Amino acid sequence: MTIYVLVLLFVTLVWGATFPVLKLATAQLSGLEVSTLRFFIAAALMLPFAVRAPKQAWRDGGVLGVIVLASYVAQAYGLEHISSNRSAFLTSLNVLMVPLLGFVLGARLGGLVWVAAALACTGIGLMSWEGGAHLWADSATIFGALAYAVDVIILSKWAGRHKAKHLAATQVIWMAGLGGVWMLLASIGTDSLATLPDRISGPVFAGLAYLGAIATAGMLFLQAIAQRHVSADKAALVYAMEPVFAAVFAWLWLNEMLTLQASVGAALVVLAVVMSEYPSLERA
């Protein structure tokens, strides 16, 4: 196991902790507001690096920023309506989506990947049958997973041609700017901006600071470094640990528990994402 894989594992641990934090924040703020405010905080920290970034970093950062913004907003919207545990396991499907997207682009897939896809669907079915399903929230979360799978693939191809600090900084600046415009447009005809300061309590602000400074600015920087040396397939396998970490933090902070049926479904999802990467590990 290389140091870069360990870095990605640490990134995954930090991201796992974001699910209960996001769940608490979305009790007071919309998913779009949470996402935009965390990006504002991250952008303020990364601005010195963005100023010195070359034009190509701004172009590539813009593409990645659009994709990740869509992923984060979709995930945060989902958390307005479903538990952080459920969100984490649905989000983990991005790992399975990486090889499936490769198939769409012309790569061959082994039988294990198709078995993994069937297991993942079975696992989601068990979790949904258990209760807590929400059509739009579940769909948004799965869309967020798809967007993030696209980001993982593109980042592995582009990370090597940029300094990590430049790519991470420009990406965050784009996310903050586009998120701000989106939030302004969404507020038209509502009092959401006027009531925003009153809805940011002390705990919510602390959560936003964690999401912006550590989970966004810090982890995007570390991810950009590590994925210069780790393939998309291997990186996706490391990210399969995210729902496990999320479940632990949700239990510790929110007292969220998975029933036996939901636990079986969640285990099938994790097994599916690991199986989907097994053929690529054999080739490594």
Q: Helix crossing, 84-91 with 3-25: angle to 10°?
A: 140
How far separated are the first and last CA of the chain, in Å rounded? 13
Question: CA 79 to CA 69: how far, in whole Å?
Answer: 15
- The pair phi, psi for residue 35, each rounded to 5°, is -65, -45
> What mean pLDDT comes out for the span 14-42?
90
8 Å CB contact between 75 and 61: no
CA 181 vs CA 138, 171, 265: distances in Å: 25, 16, 39
Measured at the CA of 128, the angle between CA 119 and CA 112, to 5 degrees, comes to 10
pLDDT band for position 110 (cuts 50, 70, 90): low
Cα separation, 144 vs 70, in Å, equals 7
Q: What is the pLDDT of residue 124?
A: 67
Rounded to whole angstroms, the Cα distance separating 64 from 211 reads 18
Residue with the bigger pLDDT between 274 and 145: it is 145
pLDDT of 109 reads 61
The whole-angstrom separation of Cα 16 and Cα 24 is 14
User: Residue 240: which region, alpha, beta or left (left: phi > 0; alpha: psi -120 to 50)?
Assistant: alpha
Q: What is the pLDDT of residues 194-236, one digit of tens each?
A: 999 999 999 999 999 999 999 988 888 888 888 788 776 677 6
For 55-86, what is each residue's pLDDT tens digit? 999 999 999 999 989 998 898 888 888 887 78
